[in-house]
Amino acid sequence: MSDIFKDSTWDLEDIELLDEFEKGRNLVLRATKQIFRDFYKQNFQGNEKVLEVGSGTGFLKRNWPENFHGEWIQLDSQPAFLKEAKKRSNGTYIQGSAYRIPFPDESLDVVCGYGSYDVLMDLEKATKEASRVLKEDGLFFHLLDLSPCSEPIMKDLNDRQVPSKIDGWENSKGYIQSKSISFVPEEKVKDFNKITAKLNNDYSDLRDFGEEHNKLWRKYSQEIQTHDYFDRKLRDSLTPYFNTETIESGDLTASFKGERTKQQKKTDNEPFLFLNEAGKFYGYSNFTQYNMLRLNFPNMLNILPTGHDCAYRILKQISPSLAQKIEPSCSEISSVKYVSARK
């Protein structure tokens, strides 16, 4: 396969991880679709020619507002992703790279991505290419409802020779699941390296060296806010090619209240509150449980249910059919990070 398709951290034939993401997304899907509708109303006329870069299995297009009647083209470097997307919905699918988009100059109204630009190793090259194919005043936007991919961030730090460390683990598919990324700020690097070199001379035992180095790391390092890091990096990459006055970013949030879906009913402990907070999907029995967890009162979580919730759970043990009639409403709260710009 041509090197132009090796533009991300994904394995070429792996779909299972995308399906895992979608399972989490589906828990707050109705709230997320409201975010899409709100964004659509503010930024679309409805007849645009759209190119989605890194479309994966087509989650964004499948859940985009139905009143959109323009042309939506899904582009991905991984043929297995496109093949799976075709099974899930009709549409136009093209294999291609974010670094070499197969369209003429100024031929598209919108270039977008959904959790796709954060996996790219060369953002500036990708945003330059997006600018090339966009018409004058064309829209670029990127939405992210997960944590940014850690590998491009680590590569960026390593290329700048910034001491950095990832706290995480590999899952069964071999992907790094990062809990956090920490680094030594530029103004502390000189002192950090000096003391590290001294430790190398003072400790021949690797275990003793490791303990002392961990102490040193805790003293000099700080944790990266990965969403802020990616947001800043993407905005910087847009600046040379887009109208700087139109570059903006922030959080898009929406909520939904109604009956639980079949998937929500299958979750453990029968939660009635579902949240996506910066890529972490949670289910709670109710807002009381959620607030107790926020206040760090774990022992109180199971003894402070709401009255309605408590009545439902008691009745369910006696008469499940009657319990269904008084089942509490389900609440979904979704938060999506966005970056957008006009050419």
Could you read off the pLDDT of 175-200 as tens digits, one per residue? 455 668 899 998 999 998 888 888 87
- H helices present in the chain, as ranges: 16-26, 29-43, 59-62, 79-88, 123-133, 150-159, 186-202, 206-220, 226-238, 262-265, 287-294, 307-318, 320-325
Residue 85, CB-side half-sphere exposure with 13 Å CA sphere: 27
| Domain co-membership, 308 together with 321 | yes
pLDDT at 301 over 50: no
Cα–Cα distance list, 132 to 36, 96, 112, 342 (Å): 26, 15, 14, 12
Distance of alpha carbon 156 from the chain centroid: 19
| Domain co-membership, 161 together with 133 | no
Average pLDDT over the chain, rounded to an integer = 84
| Domain co-membership, 309 together with 181 | no
Structurally, how many domains does the chain consist of? 3
| Domain co-membership, 20 together with 109 | yes
| Domain co-membership, 200 together with 84 | no
Q: What whole-number distance in Å separates Cα of residue 166 and Cα of residue 177?
A: 10
| Domain co-membership, 39 together with 113 | yes
pLDDT at 177: 55
| Domain co-membership, 290 together with 193 | no
pLDDT at 213: 79
- Domain final position from 223, 244, 279: 223
Q: What whole-number distance in Å separates Cα of residue 119 and Cα of residue 154?
A: 11
The per-residue DSSP string of 46-60 comes to S--EEEEET-TT-HH
Report pLDDT digits (tens) over 32-47.
999 999 999 999 999 9
Q: How confident is the model at residue 166 (pLDDT cuts 50, 70, 90)?
A: confident
| Residues 3-21: b if buried by 16+ CB within 10 A, e if exposed | eebebbbbeeeebeebeeb
Q: What whole-number distance in Å separates Cα of residue 314 and Cα of residue 228?
A: 45
Whether the Cβ atoms of residue 330 and residue 274 lie closer than 8 Å to each other: yes
Q: Is the dihedral of CA 68, 69, 73, 74 positive or negative?
A: positive
Ranges 122-131, 133-142, 302-311: which has the least confidence: 302-311
| Domain co-membership, 247 together with 127 | yes
pLDDT at 237 over 60: yes
pLDDT at 249 over 60: yes
Segment 276-298 shows an average pLDDT of: 65
| Domain co-membership, 87 together with 122 | yes
DSSP conformation class of 189 = H
How many other C-beta atoms can be found within 10 angstroms of the C-beta atom of residue 126? 26
| Residues 174-199: b if buried by 16+ CB within 10 A, e if exposed | ebeebeebbbbeeeeeeebeebbeee
Whether the Cβ atoms of residue 335 and residue 253 lie closer than 8 Å to each other: yes
Residue type, position 301, single letter:
L
Distance of alpha carbon 94 from the chain centroid: 23
- Domain final position from 180, 205, 223: 223
Segment 115-119 shows an average pLDDT of: 95
| Domain co-membership, 35 together with 15 | yes
How many other C-beta atoms can be found within 10 angstroms of the C-beta atom of residue 303? 8
pLDDT at 303: 43
pLDDT at 168: 66
pLDDT at 228: 94
Whether the Cβ atoms of residue 162 and residue 186 lie closer than 8 Å to each other: yes
DSSP conformation class of 66 = T
DSSP conformation class of 260 = P
Segment 190-218 shows an average pLDDT of: 80
| Domain co-membership, 97 together with 242 | yes
Q: What whole-number distance in Å separates Cα of residue 195 and Cα of residue 172?
A: 37
How many other C-beta atoms can be found within 10 angstroms of the C-beta atom of residue 324? 12
Report pLDDT digits (tens) over 92-104.
999 999 999 999 9
The per-residue DSSP string of 83-98 comes to HHHHHH---EEEE-BT
CATH code for the domain in which residue 85 is found: 3.40.50.150
Q: Structural domain of residue 312, as residue ranges?
A: 254-335
Name the percent of the chain lying above pLDDT 90: 52
Q: How confident is the model at residue 322 (pLDDT cuts 50, 70, 90)?
A: low
- Domain final position from 223, 241, 262: 223
| Domain co-membership, 20 together with 96 | yes
